[in-house]
Amino acid sequence: MQEKDILQEEIKEVEKLLSVNKLTKENATFSETKGGFITLLLNGEEKGQVNVICTFPFTAPNEFLSVRTADDKAEEIGIIEDLLAFDEQTVAIINKQLEMRYFMPEILKVYSVKEEYGHTYWSVLTNKGKHKFTSPSGSSGSVIRTENRVIIKDSDQNRYEIKDVTKLTPKEMKKLDLYL
């Protein structure tokens, strides 16, 4: 009797694990708490605080967002296939959290890039102010380039983004050329 129950329970759990819950503007309402966290109301059921995670942070930051519980287990509640299908306010709330989660200062100007002893020393202007950082050079992981977008990871794994390298001045390009 009890054996059966356990097995049934297990099967249910597996089924739950394998099913994908689609979150749409019809079934899901996101709202912001005073503290700036996101809560979710799904099919009329209060899900409490949730975290939103990009499944394709580089190639499709607005698609297939995974919504998870904010506790240690971080269980998936559902997936938003297209964020832009939601109303403006929801998009704004979620984007705000995504910006925090995928925090990445944008490099606007490159003052100097210098390589010494296997490490690259950067001095840049970002949208968050002037900054200097060090990235390990040579290791393919520290610079990710997709078309014209460049993401640089420093020794602390902090990330910096150059949205469009072609928009840099030729002088800056020349400085960067060897490092990208």
Partner 1 sequence: MSEKRPLSEMPESLKQLVDTKKLLGSKLLVFAEADMNTNCEFCRFVLLLTKTALIVGTNNKLGFADPNKKETDFSEFSFTSYSIKDLNNPKITTFVVGGMLSAEIDGEQTPICAFTNAYKGRVMRVCEILNALIKNEEIKEERLFEEKHDEFCHKCGMPYPEKNRKICPKCMDKRKIFFRLASCFKPFKIELAVICVICILSALVNSVWPILNGSLLYDTVLAKNKANSVFEALPFEDFAVFLLILVLMMVGVKILQQLFGIIQGVLVAKIVPKVVADLKNKVFASIQHLSVSFFTGKETGGLMSRITSDAANVTNIFIDGLPFILPNLFTIIFSCVVMFSTSPLLAAVAIATLPPAIIISIKLEPVLWHYNSRRFQTARDFRAKLNDNLTGARVVRAFGREESERVRLQKVNGNVAAAQSDAMNFDVKYTALYHIAQSLSSVLTFTVGAAFVLAVFKPQMTYGTLMTFTGYVSLLSGPANFFSFIFRWWSDSMNSAQRIFEILDAKPEVTEDPNAEPKTEIKGDITLKDVTFGYEENREVLKNVSLSVNAGEMLGIVGKSGAGKTTLVNLITRLYDVNEGEILIDGVNVRDMRFCDLRKNIALVSQETYIFKGTIFENIAYANPSADRKAVIDAAIAASAHDFICKLPDGYDTQVGSGGRGLSGGERQRISIARAILADPKILILDEATAAVDTETEKNIQASLKKLVKNRTTLSIAHRLSTLRDADKLVVIDGGKIVEEGTHKQLMLQKGEYFKLFQIQSKALAMRGIGD
What is the contact surface with partner 1 in residues (CB under 8 A)?
2-3, 6-7, 10, 33-37, 49, 51, 57, 70, 99-105, 115-119, 121, 126, 128-134, 136, 138-140, 155-159, 178
DSSP state of 62: T
Element (H, E) at 13: helix 2-18
Element (H, E) at 133: strand 129-136
Rank residues 21 and 51 by Cβ distance to partner 1 and give the closer one: 51
Rank residues 128 and 163 by Cβ distance to partner 1 and give the closer one: 128
AA identity, residue 168: L
CA 29 to chain centre: 21
Nearest approach, Cβ of 116 to partner 1 (angstroms)? 6
Rank residues 22 and 149 by Cβ distance to partner 1 and give the closer one: 149
Segments in 30-87 forming alpha helices (H): none
Nearest approach, Cβ of 172 to partner 1 (angstroms)? 16
Rank residues 24 and 31 by Cβ distance to partner 1 and give the closer one: 31
User: 44 is written with which tokens?
Assistant: 């009329």
